[in-house]
Amino acid sequence: MRKARLLPPPRRKEADFSLAIVNIVLLLVFFFLITGSLVQNGEIEIDLAETAELPLERLPRPLLLIDATGAMALDGVPLQADQIAASLGETLPEALYLLADGGLSADRLMALTTRPDLAGLSLRLITLHVRSGGDG
């Protein structure tokens, strides 16, 4: 076989998609940063009470998790009810957010509102927003 004497074809420059990938991934990171709420272990495993007509909120802190058995964890740290005030620090925050299982007895929830060491602290129940029937 005779070798061709023509010059080899010019090497085509391969398209570099790195910058496009970085851009897309950066947009995804921004999306998760803006729309997501960082959660601790167990905080997404309970069945929250559901509401449909209240405005949307992000998952706030400090967050007291109360599961169906009544076990509590403050921002991921297991504790007893009488340790909550001490765990919140010397200066109590404005509010304590309760992530309580929807099937939990209301008595357990109400018991927190009567604790003298939590008096003056605004307790706010977190619910899961679900679409109402009318929204489709």
- Judged by the rule CB under 8 A, the positions of this chain that interact with other proteins are 16, 18-19, 21-22, 25-26, 28-29, 32-33, 35-39, 43-44, 48-60, 97-98, 100-107, 109-111, 113-116, 118-129
How far is 108 from 100, CA to CA, in rounded Å?
10
- Is 49 or 81 the residue whose CB approaches other proteins more closely? 49
- Is 5 or 90 the residue whose CB approaches other proteins more closely? 90
Which helix (H) or strand (E) covers residue 97, if one does?
A: strand 95-100
Q: Which residues are CB-contacts of 64 (< 8 A; sequence separation ≥ 6)?
A: 72, 73, 74, 84, 96, 97, 98, 99, 112
- Is 4 or 58 the residue whose CB approaches other proteins more closely? 58
Residues 75 and 40 sit within 8 Å (Cβ to Cβ): yes
Token duo for residue 72 = 């509590």
Residues 92 and 85 sit within 8 Å (Cβ to Cβ): yes
CB of 25 to other proteins, least distance (A): 4
CB of 61 to other proteins, least distance (A): 12
CB of 132 to other proteins, least distance (A): 11
- Is 6 or 43 the residue whose CB approaches other proteins more closely? 43
CB of 87 to other proteins, least distance (A): 18
